[in-house]
Amino acid sequence: MSPNAESHTEAKSAPAEQATRGAVHLFDVAGIKITIDYTWLIVFALVLWSLSAGYFPIYYGGYTSNLYWIAGVIATILFFASILIHELSHSLMAIRHGIKIPEITLFIFGGISKLSRDPTDPKSELKIAIAGPLSSLVLAVIFAIVKVPFHTEPAGLLYGIFDYLAWINVALAVFNLIPGYPLDGGRILRAIVWWKTGSVERATKWASDIGQGFAWALMALGAIQVFLGSLIGGLWLLFIGLFLRGIAMGGYQEVLMKQSLEGVRVNEVMIDDVIVVPPHLHLDELSHEYFLRHGHGGFPVMRDGKPLGLISLSQVTSVPHEERQRTAVEQVMVPLSEGIEIEPNQSLAEALRKMRTTGHRRLLVMDGDNLRGMITMAGLLRFLEIKRVLEA
């Protein structure tokens, strides 16, 4: 993740998962939805300010304030374009290996590629991980070549823009090659250990431990900088360290969770006797007659025995109170077309992957066109907790 850290996991830990909430869709590239989270505006403003008010005036004097801000805008936009290319390189390589990438999100700590599933072999993991740093190094070479004609006045500021972009892409590649999960270097290390040992669990444990060590080192360096008077720089390193530590721990826990869920089928854990609601029901009636009476967080929506979708508390609360009397369930429900169905003989690991990919905490268990039941994230977590206690 750039500029600070990178994650391209299928099932993200909490800090990374939050980054994709509230994101704004910009455009699509090769079928991949490119979005920006609102937190991205913070780092965009910081980079723009540091370049326009600090870096360019210090190293390229003699220009007006307006020119410095124009240069800052150009450099900042190209910097984040570089981050996007870095992420796209991971994503396009993943697509070549049969892994779908529905979305890339830029947020305060850089970029996240949302993989539909993890690589199934170490060679694929290695190729996907190394694609990002290689793309950053290629960009660095391109910017280094482009800057050469602009070394003389009055185009010195253009030289400065491309010189900065060449340097920052090298820094981006080097930082991400640090062998700590979830950075690219950590994924490369995980792929190599996985390749040599045949154990993705052991490989992830190694990479996760090194990643946590690197995160603690960043936090220690940040604390030292704060103590020495560099408040903003020190706090930034502290936040990055906390973020990396959370993802490094989450990555290993995710592998353990998947292994626990892999051998269990959906129909062993699903809710069999589900309560269904009609699509024409108004939301205020739904609230009193279903949510408050039964205490569940969501229900399948059916008409004449045919499943149409899911309705949950989040859809109800998204509608203002005064509009719930005239808003029907079918107007706000999640339709089947959003990938909220799963077959009963599939594994719980696949159910978890689908929940994380779609962003929905409930899935309809379908046998053809027939509704067999429903499986929830709460049910999966309860199963894992009971299994952990029994095996302790």
Give the model confidence (pLDDT) of 177-225 as tens digits: 988 887 899 899 999 999 999 988 888 888 888 989 988 999 999 999 8
Per-residue pLDDT at 392? 63
Residue 113's H or E segment, with its range, is strand 110-114
φ, ψ of residue 316 in degrees (nearest 5): -65, -50
Band of pLDDT at residue 276, cut at 50, 70 and 90: very high
- The two beta strands, 334-335 and 341-342, are unpaired
Distance of CA 377 to the CA centre of its chain: 19
| CATH of span 266-391 | 3.10.580.10
- DSSP H helices in 177-278: 184-197, 200-227, 231-262
Weakest-pLDDT range from 46-60, 241-255, 299-313, 334-348: 241-255
pLDDT digits (tens, 9 = 90+) for 87-98: 999 999 999 998
What are the residue boundaries of the structural domains of the chain, listed by start? 5-177, 198-262, 266-391
CA distances from 67 to 61, 70, 72, 90, 294 (A): 11, 5, 8, 35, 64
pLDDT band at 155 (very low <50, low <70, confident <90, very high): low
Residue identified by tokens 């299994």 is 387
What is the reported pLDDT for 300?
Answer: 95
pLDDT tens digit string along 18-53? 444 457 888 899 889 999 988 888 889 989 999 999
* Average pLDDT value over all residues in the chain: 86
Comparison of pLDDT for 391 and 16, the residue scoring more: 391
How far apart are the C-alpha atoms of 387 and 30, rounded to whole Å? 41
Whole-angstrom distance, CA of residue 326 vs CA of residue 328:
6
Write the burial class of residue 336 (CB in 10 Å: 0-12 exposed, 13-18 middle, 19+ buried).
Answer: middle
Q: Is the dihedral of CA 74, 80, 85, 86 positive or negative?
A: positive
Q: Are strands 103-107 and 110-114 parallel, antiparallel or unpaired?
A: antiparallel
Segment 367-374 mean pLDDT: 92
* Cα 84 from Cα 100, distance rounded (Å): 17
Other CB atoms within a 10 A radius of the CB of residue 310 amount to 25
C-alpha dist (Å) from residue 252 to 90, 211, 242, 270: 21, 11, 16, 26
Which two structure tokens, joined as six digits, stand for 289? 């007659």
